[in-house]
Structure formats: structure tokens, C-alpha cells
Amino acid sequence: MPAAIDAVELTRDLIRRPSVTPADAGAMDVVEQTLTGLGFVCRRMRFGEIENLYARYGTAAPNLCFAGHTDVVPVGDAAAWTKDAFAAEVADGVLIGRGAVDMKSAIAAFAAAAAEAIAAGQVTGSLSFLITGDEEGVATDGTVKVVEALMAEGEVIDHCIVGEPTSAETFGDMVKVGRRGSINAEIVVEGVQGHVAYPHRAANPARPLIRMLTALQDRKLDDGYPEFQPSNLEVTLIEMPNTATNVIPAVARARLNIRFNPNHTGRQLADWFDLEAWRAAAGFPGKVSVTSHISGEAFLTERGDFTELVAQAVADVTGHSPELSTSGGTSDARFIRALCPVIEVGLVGKTMHQVDERAPVEEIRTLQRVYSRIIARYFG
């Protein structure tokens, strides 16, 4: 019979590995050793410089997977922290450290819940873990590559829980059943440099850039979608490098991002960018180009038995039903949904990525109880 796992102590052990993307710093070893001790068959799946892990307990169906990431964002101003960001100190019942909320605590809580379920003989199918070290970075050699490999092998995952910090104000008030898509675009306009007093000898790149940005921003993308808020376009950079007041520069560029609901696909939006670039370039003696990157499509786990099971498990522990939400940014759930229905359940996310990222010890233990309840209901 596997030994019980203390979720808080395991979280502290993980935090002490400074796994700032793409560094692993031994964090994946901690996860692997923990799961091996529970009887999981563990596979390290390295892509590029990224450490990934897929572990499975049992061979029967159904297979309930937990997905998460060991990598964390940089500390920032280390001197601004009240405690060392990687010391994992507990003060007044609160665990302080990078990854305490996002999301080493969730990995530890699910491992502890899995240990309980295995010891109690509840796992009549399979439990699995899909853990990456490339969620906070560019996310090219992490979950997306593991999912592709598992699909190619015919590995079946029936449902997945992702441990991102989903609670908004109080623990358990929100779980995520979908996410908006995200597309980034960089616009580069190449004109002709010249003297401001002789504009006929130059081609000012600002003009087509302004035309294009105006057209993009003037379009109302949509009024929302069932379970989703309206899509929004945000310009994140405009620049025309120039150190003089009497020079028309040769180049202007801008960047933008759209968070979109299922009214759109990334490809449709990228095609729209290309069309507006063509329109803006009409009559311009230079070049207007757009480079788009689709970082994820919008998706929704439809309401049904799985969403009801998870919501009821949260209610069993907290006493209140969570909001089923699609708000916020993106997560690796956007890749896992190619395998199976996916729901995100985690801690309150207010301090993630901040100085003094922290999680109350009791919340970590409550998260473990929620995961335990999910496992019990899933196989029950």
C-alpha cells in the first residue's frame, strides 16, 4: 500500500526547485519519484530542452488524467519579496513562493488525492498525469508535443482535470470549462526614408499602418457567444523608431492580440489581417506585411455528466456550486481538448506571477479534498 502524501510538504519540495522556464532544476524528478512510489508507470518525454512526464496507474478504462506544469515565471525583483521566492516558507498559515499558486500546489494536491484513492481501492480504471515544463514559456515543446505523441500511439485519455488557479475571489467559486482563443499579429510597414519638407521623395509608413489599425479597431468582432464574453482586439505596440524631428522614418510596426470566442477561428482572423494589410497598401509605394501566430483556438467543454461531476465535487467540499466559466487567458487545456473533455480546477489566482506569490496552507488541503472527491465520484 502506498504511503500517504502531504500535499503541502510536496508543494514546498517542488517550489525549492527553481524551475523558471525552460529550466527544470530537478522539479520533474520530484514528480516522477513521487508517482513511481505510488505505482505509476512513468515516461519522461523530452522535446528540445523541455522536460515532460506522462505517468499512468492502471491499464483499464476509463482513464482520468490530471494535467499541470512544473515551470514557473521569473521572480522579478527578488529584493521585493518578504521571503526567498524559492525557500517555500510558511508564515501565519500561508505558503510563500514562486509556484505556490501557479501551480505546483495543484500537482501536489492531486498526487496526494491519487495516493488516497489508490490506498482505498477506488481506482477501478486508470489515473494518469501529464506534466510539462513548458507552459509559462512559448509552449512549443511541452503539452502540445506530448499530446501529439500520445495521439500517435493511440493512448486514450477519457477526461482531464487541469490544475490551473481558477478560483476568482474565494476557493471553489469558479472552474473553467473552456477558454477563448488567442492570436497575435505583427504588422510591419516598409516605406522610404526622407526629409519631412520633401514628402514627395519619401513614403511615410505611418499612413498605411494607421489606416490598417483603424480598420481593424473599427470592426465589432461579435456580441459574445454562449458561455463566452465578446471577442476583443487590443493593440499592444506601435513604434516608428526615429531620433530626429525632420526625418520621415523608413519603417513602422505594430503588434496586436485578439482573444476570441467560437464565433471565429484563428485562421479566419489571420486571413482578415492579410486582407486589411492588402487594402492599407493600396497606392503605397512600399510594403505592408503581417505575421500571425495562433496560440490557441477557442473551445468549450459542453455541460453534461463530466461538468456536473466536477461541479458537484466542488460543492461537496465547499458547500457551494462553482461558476462554470470561460473567462481569463489561455492554458494548456487548449491542447488537451484534442484528446478529451477538459475542465480546470484550482486555487484562487490573485497572486499568481506576483511578488510574494502565496497560498494558504488550508486552501491547498481543501484542493486535495476536492480532487479526492472528483476521483471518488469518477470511479464510483
How many helices and strands in the chain, by DSSP H and E? 9, 19
Measured at the CA of 366, the angle between CA 361 and CA 369, to 5 degrees, comes to 135
Largest CA distance in the chain: 84
CA-CA distance, 325 to 229, in Å (whole number)?
10
164 is annotated as an active-site residue: no
Contact in structure between 369 and 319 (CB atoms under 8 Å)? no
* Distance from the Cα of residue 315 to its chain's centroid: 25
Per the listing, cell 482513464 goes with 63
Nearest to 160 by CA among 150, 169, 152: 150
Q: Is 297 left (phi over 0), alpha (psi -120 to 50) or beta?
A: beta
- The 3-state secondary structure of 277-309, one letter per residue: HHHHCCCCCCEEEEEEEEEECCEECCCCHHHHH
135 is annotated as an active-site residue: yes
Q: Which of 32, 135, 141, 357 is catalytic?
A: 135
Instruction: Show Cβ contacts of residue 158 under 8 Å, excluding neighbours closer than 6 positions.
Output: 61, 62, 63, 64, 125, 340
CA-CA distance, 283 to 203, in Å (whole number)?
11
Q: Which of 13, 24, 51, 71 is catalytic?
A: 71
CA-CA distance, 19 to 34, in Å (whole number)?
17
The torsion angles phi and psi of 281, rounded to 5 degrees, stand at -85, -10
Which residues are catalytic, by number?
71, 135
